[in-house]
């Protein structure tokens, strides 16, 4: 939505000054330069309220769960509220949310539980575009004879080859594992359409939404996916992971768990004691988004509506920065760009871009930027299938720049100027 359209409807664009005040770490300086955090795809900065919630938890509520005393009761209440918040974030019931160490650990545990019901010859579809956390846990089932089929990409724009995906889904497919967005090229996959293809074949659909979550609203009910995992530390919360699963599946599949732990939801999927101060932070990270949304749209009535309003505003800001970023990058001499570059197709991508420069390695470029206070990532970011497919795995991978809503156009311009200097 354009700024004009938002104003017409009585809605306000992002208040970037307010946003940046919420994140104290953005004030960092490096060699006299203000830090530009363009490293978000590997983890975002955390708002002050999230830090306060984690500290308050440790100060006033630190105990294990389900005890008959004050701090344990507070712990239970905080976890219940965080689960409600994540339910609003993903549009599902709180009991369909479970917490865990990170998306990778959660996915390995889920794959083991689902895999114990699979037999030799059953098939799982994975993709070339995905982070290895949505490949290796499924590949691990090859040990019991499960066949992994990998969907190819269109190399020219780093999009999934949907015709190849249709070919790879067969009557033997038991599960399709696809990322919502690529953490290297920023491509957004048509996960709703892919869910329908999986369902038509009688297969389960697992979505890795780790990279998408900071950029776009997720609606698991509308997607109708069976499972979806994401990691709060990528959407301005603490280092943890969360899993959504349809209630019927969470009750039917059998997780590996200790006997005394409850067999009810969501406990049966949460092995051992959780990082409870982290869970306190997750609830507050969602609340941060909701408050941002209420500021952009004071008519938002529910937390879910406020979250959607926040994403409308953050998306608009991200797309404006992205347009300037890509236009500027394409003018840098000797630069190779991976992914969608046409502004008319921005609906198919988020604000994460990867490039290579003719001069130096991606590590050289990241170091050059880092010395100037500009934080970027180099390498494969565990999107190993993709760096191999693009032929850059043995050349240091790519340089990745990630924009999220707390970034500024000034930071984009500083980055472009520094890259032009590096490329000279």
Ligand X SMILES: Cc1ncc(COP(=O)(O)O)c(C=O)c1O
Stretch that binds ligand X, among 30-38, 64-72, 91-99, 206-214 (CB under 6 A): 206-214
Least CB distance to ligand X at residue 313 (A): 23
Asked if 210 touches ligand X (CB under 6 A), the answer is: yes
Candidate residues 208, 270, 297, 318; the one interacting with ligand X per rule CB under 6 A: 208
Candidate residues 45, 47, 231, 242; the one interacting with ligand X per rule CB under 6 A: 231
Least CB distance to ligand X at residue 291 (A): 25
The answer for residues whose C-beta is within 8 angstroms of residue 57's C-beta and 6 or more apart is 75, 78, 276, 277, 280, 281
Stretch that binds ligand X, among 62-70, 208-216, 286-294, 300-308 (CB under 6 A): 208-216
Asked if 131 touches ligand X (CB under 6 A), the answer is: yes
Q: Where does residue 319 rank: exposed (0-12), middle (13-18), buried (19+ CB within 10 A)?
A: middle
Candidate residues 38, 85, 103, 228; the one interacting with ligand X per rule CB under 6 A: 103
Residue window 132-151: x/- pattern of binding to ligand X, with contact defined by CB under 6 A: -xx-----------------
The answer for residues whose C-beta is within 8 angstroms of residue 240's C-beta and 6 or more apart is 99, 100, 101, 102, 231, 232, 233, 275, 278, 279, 281, 282
Judged by beta carbon, residue 132 or residue 364, the one nearer ligand X is: 132
Residue window 288-327: x/- pattern of binding to ligand X, with contact defined by CB under 6 A: ----------------------------------------
CA–CA separation, 403 vs 415, rounded Å?
Answer: 11
Q: How many residues bind ligand X (CB under 6 A)?
A: 14
Asked if 179 touches ligand X (CB under 6 A), the answer is: yes
- Asked if 350 contacts 211 with a C-beta cutoff of 8 angstroms, the reply is yes
Q: Give, as ranges, the residues between 30 and 89 that touch ligand X (CB under 6 A).
A: 42
Q: What's the gap between Cα 326 and its chain centre?
A: 21
CA–CA separation, 187 vs 340, rounded Å?
Answer: 7
Closest CA relative to residue 94, chosen from 217, 286, 247: 247
Judged by beta carbon, residue 133 or residue 326, the one nearer ligand X is: 133
Stretch that binds ligand X, among 66-74, 96-104, 265-273, 328-336 (CB under 6 A): 96-104
Judged by beta carbon, residue 172 or residue 239, the one nearer ligand X is: 239
Count of Cβ atoms closer than 10 Å to residue 298 Cβ? 12
Candidate residues 183, 189, 195, 284; the one interacting with ligand X per rule CB under 6 A: 183
Least CB distance to ligand X at residue 103 (A): 4
Three-state DSSP at 361 gives: coil
Q: 373 in the Ramachandran plot: left (φ > 0), alpha (ψ -120 to 50) or beta?
A: left
Name the residue with tokens 């539980």: 113
Three-state DSSP at 279 gives: helix
The answer for residues whose C-beta is within 8 angstroms of residue 202's C-beta and 6 or more apart is 171, 173
Asked if 187 touches ligand X (CB under 6 A), the answer is: no
Judged by beta carbon, residue 235 or residue 337, the one nearer ligand X is: 235
Name the residue with tokens 């354009």: 2
Asked if 102 touches ligand X (CB under 6 A), the answer is: yes
Stretch that binds ligand X, among 11-19, 58-66, 204-212, 360-368 (CB under 6 A): 204-212
Token pair, residue 170, equals 């067969």
Residue window 235-274: x/- pattern of binding to ligand X, with contact defined by CB under 6 A: ------x---------------------------------
CA angle 284, 103, 23 (to 5 degrees): 35
Least CB distance to ligand X at residue 357 (A): 23
The answer for residues whose C-beta is within 8 angstroms of residue 385's C-beta and 6 or more apart is 126, 127, 128, 129, 130, 132, 135, 150
CA–CA separation, 410 vs 148, rounded Å?
Answer: 45
Q: What's the gap between Cα 73 and its chain centre?
A: 31
Asked if 104 touches ligand X (CB under 6 A), the answer is: yes
Judged by beta carbon, residue 368 or residue 375, the one nearer ligand X is: 375
Judged by beta carbon, residue 210 or residue 374, the one nearer ligand X is: 210
Closest CA relative to residue 18, chosen from 294, 306, 424: 294
Binding site residues, ligand X, CB under 6 A: 42, 102-104, 131, 133-134, 179, 183, 208, 210-211, 231, 241
């Amino acid at each position: 939505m354009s700024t004009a359209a938002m104003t017409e409807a009585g809605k306000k664009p992002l208040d970037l000054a307010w946003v940046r005040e919420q994140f104290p770490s953005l004030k960092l300086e490096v060699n006299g330069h203000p830090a530009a955090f363009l490293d978000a795809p590997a983890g975002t900065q955390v708002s002050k309220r999230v830090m306060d919630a984690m500290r308050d938890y440790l100060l006033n509520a630190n105990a294990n769960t389900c005890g008959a005393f004050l701090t344990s009761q507070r712990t239970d209440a905080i976890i219940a509220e965080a689960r409600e918040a994540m339910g609003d974030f993903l549009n599902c019931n709180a009991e369909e949310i479970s917490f865990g160490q990170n998306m990778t650990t959660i996915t390995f545990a889920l794959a083991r539980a689902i895999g114990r019901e699979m037999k030799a010859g059953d098939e799982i579809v994975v993709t070339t575009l995905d982070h290895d956390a949505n490949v290796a846990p499924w590949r691990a089932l090859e040990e019991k004879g499960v066949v992994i089929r990998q969907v190819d990409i269109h190399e020219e724009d780093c999009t999934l080859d949907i015709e190849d995906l249709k070919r790879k889904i067969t009557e033997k497919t038991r599960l399709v594992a696809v990322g919502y967005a690529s953490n290297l090229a920023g491509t957004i996959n048509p996960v709703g359409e892919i869910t329908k293809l999986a369902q038509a074949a009688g297969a389960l659909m697992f979505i890795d939404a780790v990279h998408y979550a900071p950029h776009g609203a997720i609606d698991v009910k509308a997607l109708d996916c069976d499972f979806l995992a994401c990691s709060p530390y990528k959407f301005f919360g603490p280092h943890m992971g969360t899993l959504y699963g349809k209630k019927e599946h969470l009750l039917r599949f059998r997780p590996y768990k200790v006997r005394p732990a409850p067999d009810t939801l969501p406990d049966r999927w949460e092995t051992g004691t959780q990082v409870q101060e982290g869970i306190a932070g997750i609830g507050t990270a969602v609340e941060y988004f909701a408050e941002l949304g209420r500021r952009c749209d004071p008519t938002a009535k529910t937390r879910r509506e406020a979250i959607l309003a926040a994403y409308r505003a953050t998306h608009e800001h991200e797309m404006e920065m992205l347009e300037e970023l890509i236009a500027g990058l394409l003018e840098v001499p000797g630069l190779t760009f991976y992914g969608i570059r046409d502004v008319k197709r921005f609906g198919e991508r988020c604000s994460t871009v990867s490039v290579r420069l003719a001069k130096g390695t991606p590590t050289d470029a990241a170091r050059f930027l880092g010395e100037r206070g500009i934080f970027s990532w180099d390498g494969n970011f565990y999107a190993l299938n993709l760096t191999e497919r693009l032929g850059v795995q043995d050349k240091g991978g790519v340089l990745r720049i990630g924009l999220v809503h707390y970034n500024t156009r000034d930071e984009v311009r500083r980055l472009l100027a520094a890259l032009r200097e590096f490329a000279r």
